[in-house]
Amino acid sequence: MNSGAQPTVVLSGDDIHRALTRIAHEILERNKGAADVLLLGIPTRGVPLAARLGTRILAAEGRPDSDLDQLVGTIDVTMYRDDLRRNPTRALEPTRIPASGLQEKVVVLVDDVLYSGRTVRAALDAVSEIGRPRAVQLAVLVDRGHRELPIRADFIGKNLPTSREERVSVQLTELDGTDAVVLS
């Protein structure tokens, strides 16, 4: 990577807002509403993205914000990763599944960046240990390519072809104080 290259903002806060609104409507359209949908955010940045999608879905369906806890959960995939020896471990995040569970639901896994596909594979393993959903779909803010596993996203905010040397950094207000996707 050229150390002199300046980072490039590829999605602004407004772009992220529009992408999430579009993804929320695509989820509703594909699943004919959200009655059986469960959004599961993958830590770290998939969790606030899932909450934002949930808020938009509830608004589109005219449901109260209090239904968010029934629509959105989290799933930590750390212990299901196949690269624990290579990557430094991080603190485990809580897995929170709504009381209605995920049996026969359409689970939408939500993450910030789809790259090799290994995080998603780990999430599929974690979901299968919890229960048996009717279907599993994947929503990502950025798909940067370079898959190592045969995994593709159903809902994508932005396709961003990258080289392996480039770094995609997603910044979210909830964690970073600003919304942006930066390529460096």
**Chain centre to alpha carbon of residue 179:** 15
Query: Whole-angstrom Cα distance, residue 120 to residue 117?
Result: 5
Q: Which of 4-13, 17-26, 117-126 has the lowest mean pLDDT?
A: 4-13
Q: What is the pLDDT of residue 74?
A: 98
Residue range 151-171: mean pLDDT, rounded: 97
Who has greater pLDDT, 88 or 103? 103
Is 13-165 in CATH node 3.40.50.170? no
Residue 41 has pLDDT above 70, yes or no: yes
Q: Which of 3-7, 30-34, 74-78, 110-114 has the lowest mean pLDDT?
A: 3-7
Query: Whole-angstrom Cα distance, residue 65 to residue 59?
Result: 8
Q: What is the pLDDT of residue 1?
A: 46
Give residue 84's pLDDT band: very low, low, confident or very high (50, 70, 90). low
Q: What is the pLDDT of residue 34?
A: 97
Residue 6 has pLDDT above 50, yes or no: yes
Domain ranges of the chain: 13-165
Q: What is the pLDDT of residue 5?
A: 74
3-state secondary structure at position 65: helix
Residue 9 · residue 180 · CB < 8 Å = yes
Residue 142 · residue 158 · CB < 8 Å = yes
The tens digit of pLDDT for each residue in 124-136 reads: 999 999 999 999 9
Amino acid identity at 154: D
User: Tokens 């359209």 belong to which residue?
Assistant: 29
3-state secondary structure at position 137: strand
Residue range 101-116: mean pLDDT, rounded: 97
Q: Is 87 left (phi over 0), alpha (psi -120 to 50) or beta?
A: beta
